Every structure is written in C-alpha cells, then in structure tokens.
Amino acid sequence: MTSTEGTPLRVLIVHVWFWPHVGGGDQHVEMLGRELVKLGHEVTVWCADVPEHDSKQFQRGGINVVRLSPSRILAGVDPVVSLDGLSMGEFDIVHLHDTLPVLIRKSLKMARSAGVPVVTTYHNDYIKHGLIANSVKSIRWSMQGRKTLHSSEARIVLTDYFEKLLRSKGVKGHIDVIPNGFSAIDEEAERPTALVNLGDRKLLTFIGRLSEQKGLDVLMDAWDLLVENSDPGFDLAIAGKGELDDWLTERIENSDQNQAIHRLGLVSEGEKRWLLENSTGIVIPSRFEGLPTVMLEAMYANAPVIMADVNDLGRLVTEPEAGFSVEAGNSVELANTMTRLISTSQEKLDNLGTAGHKAAKSYMWPVITKDVLGVYRRVLEESN
C-alpha cells in the first residue's frame, strides 16, 4: 500500500493495557485509535487480557480489539502472552506504546521479521522504590528499553522533558514530541449522586486512580494539615478507584472534618464533567506522570488546576496562567496552595479558567492525531 496523503492505513497499536482496564495509557490508545478510525483508517489493538474479559476479539469504537490471555504476570505488571496465530502481514504500520513489556518486545520482533515499520511512544518514567527494584529497572532499560526505541523507525514522547530524559539515557536519532490528547466530554453534566450535603461550600476535587503514583497520600496529608486547628473552608471530593481503596476508607475515618470529604468512587463521564465545571479547582498531586488527561480536561472546562511539578508538568499549568504548581510529594506546599486557590477572588478564578481553556484547545485529539498520522506518513515514505 502506498503512503500518499489521504490513503487509508492499516494500523496496529500495541499496548499491554486496554479497556476494561482503567488507566491513562489505555485512554490514550483508545482515543488515538478512535480518531484514526474517524479519519478512515483501519485500527487494531493488541493487548493483554487483564482483567479477564469474556470476549477476546471484538470491536470498540470502531477499533478491532484482540485480547491475549497471559500464562502468568511478571512482578504483577508484565503479562506473559503468546503471539501464536497472529500475523503482521495485514498491517502497514505498528505503533508500540511502551518499551519494556513482553508483549511489546514480541510485537517488535514480529514486526521486524515481517518488514513492517514501527513507531514507539514512550509515555512515562515509572518510579521504583528500593535498591533492588531500581537495579532491575536499570538493567531492563539497558537491555530492552533503549533497544526497543533504537529498533523503531520513529520515537514519540509526550513532552520536551521526556525528550531530554531519553537523551540522558543514551537514546539516539530523531524524537518527535507529540503530547497526550483529550476529547471534550459529550455527556450532559450530572451531579454525582454520592456528593451530598455540599451546600454553598467551595469544592476542590481529585479525579484519578487511587494509587501512590497519583499522590493520594500527599493529598490526605495536606488535608490533615488544613483541618488540624479549624474548618478549611471548603469540601474535598475524591473520585476514582484503585489499589488504595481500603487505605483511603480508613484514612478518611481517622481524619478530622471528614464530613467535608466526599468519596465518590468511579464516576461517569457526565459526573466527571459536573465536577470539572463546578469545582473551584482540580488537584493533581501525582508523584510521576506522562501528561495526565484530567489536567487537560480540567483546563478545557475552565477549572483552575493545582499540578504537582513532576516531569516539568507544572510549567504547562503556570505558563498559560491556568493554575498553580507545587513540588511533588510536598504536602505542606500542597495544603498552602489549596488554601491559596480557595481564597482567590472570583475574577482571578475566571481568568485562570479562561487561560486554561484557551491553552487546552491545542491538545484536543483531532489535532494530536493529525500529528501522529504525520509521523506514520513520514515513516512509510522513508521505508519505501
């Protein structure tokens, strides 16, 4: 198949996790795939069947999904899958979304053997704790991660920070910087049913996976500092599910002013839209991130953002004057900044929201997908 402008492409996207698994990378892959389908391209996703789903092959949003059952899961995060019975012959280009997992490495090897060009997106630098974990991470990167990128015809990162990081890790060749995207929420805004007794109090909201990565403990430490001597003057909503579900239940029970904390669980898109549009601000205290979708969604919804300055993400909020940046892991600074946001005048809040909305427009998926498609076209032209 030729790669002239406008020619439909057959794209294989490979990512370990996909729906019904919930995560930022999953959403990135699905939204990119859906936009490519809208543009007339044929998209297939290979992923691990974790969590197990009844159907192993189906369509979702026009995307052909192939879920591969793992024989085991290494370290709880890397499903060992087989590609027996699958072929690269029906695809024009392969887009890998990671560098280390078994599925990624096997797909890369198959693509190289079939002569199908490969694009790899590097999403994030995952933090590990302890000497052994970091040693294993370093060894895997030296033996696998860098090899995946060097074996790809094109490399994509989400921000300038990650380009610099990969250079420091010895990655050679051209690197395209194409950010994560987002789509405006189409569903009508709907107040979460679990949000009760709010009255006319201001609301700060956390939306994300309940995990250490997302800094949930930092948020709760900040809350405890704020309520130590008095009412903080606002309520806190926490939306999401994750491995810290039970921990959060106990933490809220033991917190002062816990009647002002609203545990919402996993919210619908309509409920998320209501939170974005009606919260005084969105708090993102993450320890590490690629480029969080909720930050872009919040900015687009005119919601001021408090963003942990991890991987240089704080700058994406402060430069357009769409909110405030705090040091990652610093609960004292987060508490002070939450108070600062709540105390901000309505005129200033409106200005922060307007600036965020304007800045977010360049991150919408139709814009981002055209940039990714440009990389595909370039790679195909160079391989001919």
In sequence order, the β-bridge partners of residue 46 are 14, 66
Given a cut of 60, whether residue 130 has pLDDT beyond it is no
CA gap 3, 381 in Å, rounded: 6
* % pLDDT > 90, the chain: 83
Given a cut of 90, whether residue 77 has pLDDT beyond it is no
Q: Work out the average pLDDT over 289-297.
A: 91
pLDDT, residue 1, reads 39
Given a cut of 80, whether residue 253 has pLDDT beyond it is yes
pLDDT, residue 135, reads 56
Q: Cβ neighbours of residue 147 under 8 Å, at least 6 residues apart?
A: none
pLDDT, residue 139, reads 64
User: How is residue 213 written in tokens?
Assistant: 């990565």
Write the pLDDT tens digit of every residue in 165-208.
999 999 999 999 999 999 999 999 999 999 988 888 999 999 99
Alpha-carbon separation of residue 149 from 159, 170, 275, 374 (angstroms): 16, 10, 39, 19
| pTM of the full structure | 0.82
pLDDT, residue 250, reads 96
> Domains in the chain and their CATH numbers?
10-181+364-383 (3.40.50.2000), 202-363 (3.40.50.2000)
Q: Cβ neighbours of residue 293 under 8 Å, at least 6 residues apart?
A: 24, 27, 28, 180, 182
Given a cut of 50, whether residue 62 has pLDDT beyond it is yes
CA gap 113, 97 in Å, rounded: 19
Write the pLDDT tens digit of every residue in 354-383.
999 999 999 999 999 999 999 999 999 998
Q: Work out the average pLDDT over 127-136.
A: 54
Instruction: Give 54's DSSP letter.
Output: S
CA gap 344, 351 in Å, rounded: 11
Residue showing tokens 């002013």: 257
Q: Work out the average pLDDT over 114-132.
A: 78
Contact (Cβ atoms closer than 8 angstroms) between residue 92 and residue 1: yes
User: How is residue 45 written in tokens?
Assistant: 């996703």
Going across the sheet that includes 10-14, the strands are: 57-60, 63-68, 42-48, 10-14, 93-96, 118-122, 154-157, 175-177
User: How is residue 357 written in tokens?
Assistant: 């909305």
Instruction: Give 95's DSSP letter.
Output: E
Residue of 135 and 220 predicted with greater confidence: 220
* % pLDDT > 70, the chain: 94
SS3 124: coil
In sequence order, the β-bridge partners of residue 60 are 63
pLDDT, residue 68, reads 98
Given a cut of 50, whether residue 30 has pLDDT beyond it is yes
SS3 103: helix
Residue showing tokens 């970091």: 134
Contact (Cβ atoms closer than 8 angstroms) between residue 208 and residue 292: yes
What is the rounded average pLDDT for all residues in the chain? 92
Write the pLDDT tens digit of every residue in 318-349.
999 999 999 999 999 999 999 999 999 999 99
pLDDT, residue 4, reads 40
Given a cut of 90, whether residue 214 has pLDDT beyond it is yes
Q: Work out the average pLDDT over 216-237.
A: 95
pLDDT, residue 134, reads 53
